[in-house]
Amino acid sequence: MLPPSSDIIIIGGGVMGVSAAYHLARRGAGQVLLLEKMPFFGQGATGRCAGGIRHQFSTEVNIRLSSISIQMLERFPEEMEQDVDLNFCGYLFLLSSEEQMADFERNVRLQHSLGVETEILDRAEIARRAPLIDLDAEPVIIGGTNYHRDGLADPNSVVQGYVKQARRLGATLLTDVTVTSIRTEAGRVIGVETDKGEVKAGAVLLAAGPWSAPLAATADIDLPVVPLRRQIVVTRPLGIPRDMPFIIDFAQSLYFHYETGGILTGMSNPNETPGEKLDVDQEWTLVHLEHAVERMPILAQAQLLTQWAGLYEVTPDHQPILGALPVEGLYACTGFSGHGFMQGPVCGLLMAEEIVDGRAHTVNIDELRYERFIKRKLAPEKNVV
């Protein structure tokens, strides 16, 4: 049953929302109410992602966010009583130009300065580690990078672990409740309106992923978050070893990873237009698979098991929007541009700090605040697929 009021309302039951619910409840932040519009938690952007976790980013803040988040995932089975199928298979970026190599070498130096021992690989080493890849298919691969502590985790398990523990700590998490607007009065939040009635609250955390901007607009905030369709194909088992690295052909935004003995593969469509499109574009699937077979010829023998479309929540600089918004009591945790799942654990912690302590402190998130768009101070993340 929907309560008439709460201390804190979280909009969205993906990894960001449920992580924040757990961390707020753990801090004793008062009555915490999470509202998810779908029948189950984690069915939106979280449930349709590829499950990757990586340290290999081009900005310091993302490296720090992922480093802490991945440590939290390592402790998850013990602390949260939930296995998350963690697989440190590595992330292997395939690079096909001298310009890409120079950019990634700069990134590697930054990663090394933060304790992330990414390797730079030549063609021979890539061929040894990824024998299923055709390095001579266009564009020809000239080198790459790999970090052995990147890999995979199960998004559904992470979400369910947080849901269970948040409820154990007294938080209320509800499904099948659609928030239709954020209610404000005299420049501050007073609650939300839902399809099942109004709930009053002094604090609201917007963690609705690709659906965040329309809700922010109800509080007169122009949130630059755009939904963009991305598609994934999974094959039937091919005898692929579980330790095959997560492989990214960076120039083509084409990727492959192990999935129950088969291959999960995706490729970003550079001509995709914004919109809440969850249907599969079969024409793009054919384009994707043509490129995938050229890069990984074994896929010519594969049988399709399943495919789906999901949504990235994209910002102009491919960086999330974290922290307080220009309405008192309103906060955002959204806009991750394709790398949200892997940073969900730490971002829930940061939002608890932001709301309870007045400011996030485990990681300095100042460059990720909404104000950067007003001041036009953007530091784009370049390692986006």
Q: Max CA-CA distance within the chain?
A: 64
DSSP letter at 118 equals P
Confidence of residue 379 (pLDDT cuts 50, 70, 90): confident
User: CB neighbours of 201 closer than 8 A, spacing ≥ 6?
Assistant: 5, 6, 7, 8, 9, 33, 189, 190, 191, 192, 329
pLDDT for 149 beyond 90: yes
pLDDT for 1 beyond 90: no
Over the stretch 154-209, which tens digit does the pLDDT of each residue have? 999 999 999 999 999 999 999 999 999 999 999 999 999 999 999 999 999 999 99
pLDDT for 11 beyond 90: yes
Confidence of residue 280 (pLDDT cuts 50, 70, 90): very high
Q: Which domains does the chain have, with CATH numbers?
A: 8-49+155-224+317-375 (3.50.50.60), 91-147+226-314 (3.30.9.10)
Euclidean distance between CA atoms 9 and 351, whole angstroms: 12
pLDDT of residue 354: 98
Over the stretch 79-125, which tens digit does the pLDDT of each residue have? 999 999 999 999 999 999 999 999 999 999 999 999 999 999 999 99
Over the stretch 215-252, which tens digit does the pLDDT of each residue have? 999 999 999 999 999 999 999 999 999 999 999 999 99
Q: In degrees to the nearest 10, what's the CA dihedral of 290, 264, 101, 105?
A: 170
pLDDT of residue 52: 97
Structure tokens of 165? Answer: 């523990």
Confidence of residue 369 (pLDDT cuts 50, 70, 90): very high
pLDDT of residue 382: 93
